[in-house]
Structure 1
Amino acid sequence: DHAKRINDRVFLAADKSNVSKIPILIQVSLDSDLVRSEGRNGIDPKEIEKFAESIMQLEGLELKGLMAVAPISEIPESAFARLAGIFSDFQGIYPDAKWLSAGMSGDFESAIHHGATHVRLGSSILGNRSYL
Structure 2
Amino acid sequence: MLNDALRKLREKTKDHIDARDTERATLLSWPGSPSIEVDGDPEPYPATKLVFAEYLLNREVKADFIAAEYLEGNEPKGSVTGVLANGVVYETGEPYKQAPRSSLRGKLVIPSPLQVGDRLIVSRLSGQRYYVHGKDVGAGG
CA radius of gyration, larger in: 2
Higher share in strand: 2
Fold shared by both chains (TM-score > 0.5) = no
Flag the structure with more relative contact order, 1 or 2, with Cα contacts below 8 A and sequence separation at least 6. 2
Superposition TM-score tier, normalisation by shorter sequence: under 0.3
Higher share in helix: 1
